[in-house]
Amino acid sequence: MDIATKPAEPEPITDAPGAEQRVAPRFTLLIRAAKLVSAQGEFVCVIRDVSETGVSVRLFHALPACPSFALHMPAGAVYEVSPVWRRDNEAGFSFVEPVEVDRLINESSEYPKRGLRLGLCFPAVVTTLGSRFHVTVENLSQQGARLTCDQLLAIDQTVRLAMPDVEGALREVRAKVRWRRDLHYGVVFDDTFALGEFARIAARLQAPALLEG
């Protein structure tokens, strides 16, 4: 659920003594999941607050050390942002272009709500009742994945997908085939990932150093 409140009084956000105050009115956003795309990959975040000048987010690991990011909203809107400060697993960004705050806040209500899907590409193993074979996962969400393989799978077939967990060890996830297109398949997980687990698995697959410390 997304919650927005009325503008609060201007509040300084500092990374160190003497940092400039942010003076634009702030809106509080709660439980608004989004993804940050950078040169190091695609990462899950939760938007904490936003103003006309910038946005602050919470991550589930350290922020990649990149000079620029794109903030992707669940319904498809994309905002170019630059990092301003970082503190533990929180970070603040400024918008590269002017932003309509009301539109950003209401973005998820303008379109059908979509789950976060990350463009992660990695090898995995699928086990069925009669065989075991390698596949390539092309993207991943909390609810399922798209994969490609040269084996024939049936619609509604139950499979077990072995993929890395948060620690990098293989774990099996039960899933069901929902669609097929040539050598590409969409599977839905029996048990979905919690947001934090999903975020840390994504970091483990792309930039494991972000989970250290």
Q: Which tens digits make up the pLDDT trace of 42-62?
A: 999 999 988 888 999 999 999
* CA 81 to each of CA 2, 69, 107, 121: distance values in angstroms, whole numbers, following the listed order: 21, 5, 17, 25
Q: Find the range with the poorest average confidence among 77-86, 103-112, 140-149, 151-160.
A: 103-112
Percent of the chain with pLDDT strictly greater than 90: 68
Question: CA quadruple 92, 96, 99, 105: dihedral positive or negative?
Answer: negative
**What domains does the chain contain, in order, with CATH numbers?**
3-110 (2.40.10.220), 117-211 (2.40.10.220)
- CB of 175 closer than 8 Å to CB of 144: yes
Give the position of tokens 């929180």: 90
Look over the chain and give the mean of its residue pLDDT values, rounded to a whole number: 85
Neighbours of 134 (CB within 10 A): 12
Q: Is the pLDDT of residue 190 over 70?
A: yes
Q: Is the pLDDT of residue 25 over 80?
A: no
pLDDT of residue 12: 39
pLDDT of residue 11: 38
Q: Tell which wins on pLDDT, 27 or 19.
A: 27
Q: DSSP secondary-structure letter at 191?
A: S
pLDDT of residue 5: 41
Q: Is 201 exposed, middle or buried (0-12, 13-18, 19+ CB in 10 A)?
A: buried
- pLDDT band of residue 211 (cuts 50, 70, 90) is very high
Q: Is the pLDDT of residue 63 over 70?
A: yes
Q: DSSP secondary-structure letter at 209?
A: G
Helix (H/G/I), strand (E/B), else coil: 152: coil
pTM score, whole prediction: 0.83
- Closest listed residue to residue 101, CA positions, set 193, 176, 13, 32: 32
- CB of 6 closer than 8 Å to CB of 15: no
pLDDT of residue 102: 82
Q: Is the pLDDT of residue 17 over 60?
A: no
- Closest listed residue to residue 197, CA positions, set 179, 161, 173: 173
Tens of pLDDT, residues 82-103: 999 999 999 999 999 998 888 8
Measured between alpha carbons, how far is 211 from 209 in angstroms, rounded to an integer? 5
- Rounded to an integer, the average pLDDT of 152-179 is 95
Percent of the chain with pLDDT strictly greater than 70: 81
